[in-house]
Amino acid sequence: MNAKKVSESRIVNTAQVLSCDLNNYNTLFGGILMKKLDDAATLSARRHSRISECVTASTDSIDFLCPIHQTDSVCVESFVTYTGRTSMEIFCKVIAEDIMTGERRIAATAFLTFVALDENKKPVQVPGVIPETEEEIFLYNTAKERAEMRKLRRQKSKELAGYININKPWDN
């Protein structure tokens, strides 16, 4: 299986911020942005793997760096930065742009992991990636460390799950 350039998985989606997307502080709801990130990352995963079903395996973190206002456009850019045998790490960056002044700023970043599935819902192998730009090379070179942290976090989550009470609150 031939590796693909990172740029081949790049998705760019720009939208205006509508009043129905705002929270009590007149900034974009975090949940709205989370959906935009997952939508873009899904398309990056599918574009890279050319598999119709790619599922979110994890979201490492979404770091909200500055608020997004109704006077801003919100641009979500995503691309595959690293692959395992069946998994793909997707980096998402969110750029807010004040439509009146043209000022652009990084509003959020996130790393999501996706797995490509075959028609039997079994993980399938995905192509490797070829980073080209300074940004892509940096993200690629730092991906193994993130993958190790992800493994450790998943192990801890499974451990925690063993202690979580699943009874209905009124049955305790």
172 pLDDT more than 70: no
Q: β-pairing, 129-130 with 4-5?
A: parallel
**80 or 168, which is more confident:** 80
CB atoms within 10 A of CB 42: 19
Q: Is residue 32 part of a domain?
A: yes
CB atoms within 10 A of CB 142: 12
Of the pLDDT bands very low, low, confident and very high (cuts 50, 70, 90), residue 169 is: confident
| pTM for the full predicted model | 0.91
Q: Compute the C-alpha angle 60/81/122, nearest 5°.
A: 75
pLDDT tens by residue, 66-123: 999 999 999 999 999 999 999 999 999 999 999 999 999 999 999 999 999 999 999 9
Q: What is the CATH number of the domain that holds 126?
A: 3.10.129.10
Q: Is residue 22 part of a domain?
A: yes
Domains of the chain: total:
1
Of the pLDDT bands very low, low, confident and very high (cuts 50, 70, 90), residue 24 is: very high
Which range of residues forms the domain containing residue 59? Answer: 4-163
Q: Is residue 114 part of a domain?
A: yes
d(CA 162, CA 61): 23
44 pLDDT more than 90: yes
d(CA 136, CA 151): 22
Query: Which pairs count as long-range contacts for 96-101, CB under 8 Å and 24+ apart, including other chains?
Result: 96/66, 96/68, 96/69, 96/72, 97/72, 97/73, 98/69, 98/71, 98/72, 99/16, 99/71, 99/72, 99/73, 100/71
